[in-house]
Amino acid sequence: MAASTDVFFRPFRIKSLDLPNRIVMAPMTRTFAPEGIPGAANAAYYRRRAEGGVGLILSEGTVIDRPASRNHPNIPFFHGDAALAGWKTVIDEIHAAGGKMAPQIWHTGSTKTATDWVPDVDVESPSGLLAPGRPRGVAMTEQDIEATIAAFAKAAADAKRLGFDTVEIHGAHGYLIDQFFWAGTNTREDGYGGATIAERSRFAVEVVKAVRAAVGPDFPVILRLSQWKQQDYSARLAATPDEMAAWLQPLVDAGADVLHCSQRRFWEPEFPEVDGENGLNFAGWAKELTGAATISVGSVGLSGEFIAAFGGETSQRTDLDKLVERMERDEFDLIAVGRALISDADWVKKVQAGDGEGLKGFSPAALAELV
């Protein structure tokens, strides 16, 4: 018999944020914001997930006010009156449905998508590299860096002003902030580069500090991080627990309350050589090393992982027993669910009702519309 999922339905509180359960909707870019403006269809899409019982909704990545902060024309802005008015409608609808939500604030750095679209100014990144040895765009000046940090802070202040419950900074997956972390894309010789992960974290630390200053002490700040990069799935920023502590502790000290530790499969141990094949995952180690609250993620309820889904792979539904086990030992505080919530806005309600049979798998066809 499948394990009871009661452990997902314990409330969680951090600072001013009160959640009824531990299930978070993972941030997912949908490219359904024409001209960068979220509209009624986007608000209704998120509202259905709030009505479906999601504890905390993280928006798709939504970009800060920099000339080349996005890599696709239908990614929403998180700046400018029209886009912010759209986001205000989104959060008001979420609250009307009893939900909680954060925008995921983002800068795509020098990444590109499969489309031919490019911003009309050069893309920017720490060293003008897309990946090790692959030049693209320009290296940021110190003035660019300062303006970018200010733009993250402004976006966070706007999130709070519009009524969002918390904010997530996207520091993962090989986008701008992660390009500073990664030695392969940060070859700077000034104070934003360096041989150690602690040195290359300076940009992120300054972003977090500026965001913290902008939102005040009681508004929770979430920071999303990953070892892997879209440019290299096997890349790692921290090869040992000591390196991981040197990476994460300054970010927590700077004001990150929650670390959202992105993995493609939540059950994979981060350092199996230390604590075995059933050892702590990334979120588990992050919590253990820093004491911060953490969110885990990756293939919850599904047989296949999400990068393969972009390649057209369908996933079957799977049981949640391994997740229950890890949550019962409080390895991490919250669990993010991505594709399963694209397929089914009522996924949480069905899990709570024990309706395992009613859960769907994931088919990439579901990405074609906003339902």
Ligand X SMILES: Cc1cc2nc3c(=O)[nH]c(=O)nc-3n(C[C@H](O)[C@H](O)[C@H](O)COP(=O)(O)O)c2cc1C
User: For residues 104 and 166, which CB has a smaller minimum distance to ligand X in the complex?
Assistant: 104
Q: Which of 17, 19, 24, 26 binds ligand X (CB under 6 A)?
A: 26
Q: How far is the CB of 306 from ligand X (least distance, A)?
A: 4
266 versus 285: smaller Cβ distance to ligand X? 266
Tell whether residue 69 is a contact of ligand X (CB under 6 A).
no
Report residue 367 CA to chain centroid gap: 18
Interface pick for ligand X out of 54, 90, 295, 300 (rule CB under 6 A)? 300
Kindly state the DSSP code that residue 162 receives in the 8-state scheme: H
Instruction: Give residues 195-254 in contact with ligand X (rule: CB under 6 A).
Output: 224
Nearer to ligand X, 246 or 258 (CB): 258
Binding region for ligand X (CB under 6 A) out of 85-93, 179-187, 276-284, 296-304: 296-304
Show which residues are catalytic: 175
171 binds ligand X (CB under 6 A): no
Size of the site for ligand X (CB under 6 A): 25
Note whether 176 binds ligand X by CB under 6 A.
no
> Quick check: 65 binds ligand X (CB under 6 A)?
no
Q: Which amino acid is at 191?
A: G
Closest CA to 339 of 292, 370, 301: 301
27 binds ligand X (CB under 6 A): yes
Write down the least CB distance from residue 188 to ligand X, Å: 24
* 261: exposed, middle or buried (Cβ count in 10 Å: 0-12, 13-18, 19+): buried
Within 105-164, the residues that bind ligand X by CB under 6 A are none
Between the alpha carbon of residue 35 and those of residues 38, 68, 74, 86, 370, the distances in Å are 9, 14, 6, 12, 17
Q: Do 173 and 262 form a contact (C-beta atoms < 8 A)?
A: yes
367 binds ligand X (CB under 6 A): yes
**Closer Cβ to ligand X, 28 or 245, answer by number:** 28
Contact between 366 and ligand X per CB under 6 A: no
d(CA 245, CA 202): 15
Show the site string, 321-340: x = touches ligand X by CB under 6 A, - = not: ----------------xxxx
Residue of 5, 21, 29, 296 that binds ligand X (CB under 6 A): 29
The minimum distance between CB 108 and ligand X, in angstroms, equals 9
Would you say 168 and 103 are in contact if contact means Cβ atoms under 8 Å apart? yes
Residue nearest to ligand X according to CB distances in the complex: 338
Q: Is there binding between residue 298 and ligand X (CB under 6 A)?
A: yes
Q: Which stretch binds ligand X (CB under 6 A): 111-119, 138-146, 304-312, 317-325?
A: 304-312
User: Per-residue b/e over 288-301, b at no fewer than 16 CB within 10 Å?
Assistant: bbbebbbbbbbbbb
Helix axes 202-215 and 142-162, enclosed angle (nearest 10): 30
Dihedral in degrees, nearest 10, Cα atoms 201, 204, 205, 210: 160
Question: Least distance to ligand X from the beta carbon of 264, Å?
Answer: 6
CB 245 within 8 Å of CB 259? no
Which pair of structure tokens corresponds to residue 58? Answer: 């993280």
The answer to the question of residue 299 lying near ligand X (CB under 6 A) is: yes
CB contact burial 125-135 (16+ within 10 A = b; e otherwise): bbbbbbbeeee
Helices H / strands E in the chain, number of each: 13, 14
- Scan for tokens 């993280």, then name that residue: 58
Interface residue with ligand X among 78, 306, 332, 347 (CB under 6 A) is 306
Q: Residue type at 174?
A: G
Instruction: Give contact residues for ligand X (rule: CB under 6 A).
Output: 26-29, 60-61, 104, 170, 172-173, 224, 262, 297-300, 302, 305-306, 309, 337-340, 367
